[in-house]
């Protein structure tokens, strides 16, 4: 939380009567943010849903925050300018932190194209609570998939400021995990992330 940007006055932070560690002991998992980033059509939402199902089967407290879904409500007043994209990720970062504090494994499926915005989310969380997962697929492959037809519209100029075409995407420099969806299907991709969570103690045995 950047206190320099808080406009509200005469407010105080109220501590919860139940700690994060208390919640984690009752749950089957640690609270953490699994932050997916990647080009449109790289497979973020598909893998997020698959991973959520796997974690749910393990009795974990898990929830998916999806980029399109969030723009139907919380972020419905934001467009796709660099400033709006920054605010979009800032809000999601704060919401994801609340889920993490509540002891959830929260999976966020957002393009989140700017490295500085992702790094800002990392900063508001404890070191082990932010797991950046680069959902990797080349631009040409993503264009071939294009399930929503957005790349075609972006190429023809119908959609402005489209990531990968008319707006930049900055790949993570040191993500916790890289999942190459040109090589692995959704089940294999989700399983790779599940294995990482198991190996690093995010899920109770």
Which string of DSSP letters, residue by residue, matches 9-36? -S--PPPPSS-HHHHHHHSSB--EEEEE
- Distance of alpha carbon 6 from alpha carbon 79, whole angstroms: 22
Mean pLDDT of 146-170: 92
Count of structural domains, the chain:
1
Specify if 130 maps to a domain.
yes
pLDDT digits (tens, 9 = 90+) for 77-134: 999 888 999 999 999 999 999 999 999 999 999 999 999 999 999 999 998 999 999 9
**Domain range for 113:** 19-199
CB 80 within 8 A of CB 114: no
> Residue 37 maps to which CATH number?
3.40.50.300
Q: What is the pTM of this model?
A: 0.90
Specify if 204 maps to a domain.
no
The least confident of 38-47, 50-59, 155-164 is: 155-164
Q: Is 173 buried (19+), middle (13-18) or exposed (0-12) by CB count in 10 A?
A: exposed
Sign of CA dihedral 13, 114, 178, 50: positive
State the residue for tokens 């009752």: 26
- Distance of alpha carbon 172 from alpha carbon 25, whole angstroms: 32
Specify if 127 maps to a domain.
yes
User: Catalytic site residue 112?
Assistant: yes
Specify if 1 maps to a domain.
no
Kindly tell me if the per-residue pLDDT of 10 is higher than 80. no
pLDDT at 2: 53
Single out the catalytic residue among 41, 45, 112, 189.
112
Q: For the packed helices 82-101 and 115-123, what is the interaxial angle rounded to 10 degrees?
A: 30
Specify if 116 maps to a domain.
yes
Specify if 14 maps to a domain.
no
pLDDT band at 3 (very low <50, low <70, confident <90, very high): low
CB 114 within 8 A of CB 86: yes
């Amino acid at each position: 939380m950047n206190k320099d940007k808080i406009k509200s006055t005469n407010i105080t932070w109220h501590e919860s009567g139940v700690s994060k560690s208390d919640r984690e002991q009752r749950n089957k998992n640690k609270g953490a943010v699994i932050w997916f980033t990647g080009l449109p059509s790289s497979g973020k939402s598909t893998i997020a849903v698959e991973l959520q199902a796997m974690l749910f089967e393990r009795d974990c407290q898990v929830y998916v925050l999806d980029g399109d879904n969030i723009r139907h409500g919380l972020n419905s007043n934001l467009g796709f300018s660099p400033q709006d994209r920054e605010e979009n990720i800032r809000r999601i970062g704060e919401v994801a932190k609340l889920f993490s504090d509540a002891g959830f494994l929260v999976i966020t499926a957002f393009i989140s194209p700017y490295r500085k915005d992702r790094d800002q989310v990392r900063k508001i969380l404890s070191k082990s609570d932010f797991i950046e997962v680069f959902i990797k697929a080349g631009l040409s492959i993503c264009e071939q998939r294009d399930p929503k037809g957005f790349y075609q519209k972006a190429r023809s100029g119908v959609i402005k400021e489209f990531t990968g075409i008319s707006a930049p995407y900055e790949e993570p420099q040191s993500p916790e995990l890289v999942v190459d969806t040109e090589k692995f299907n959704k089940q294999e991709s989700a399983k790779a992330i599940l294995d990482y969570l198991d190996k690093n103690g995010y899920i109770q045995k």
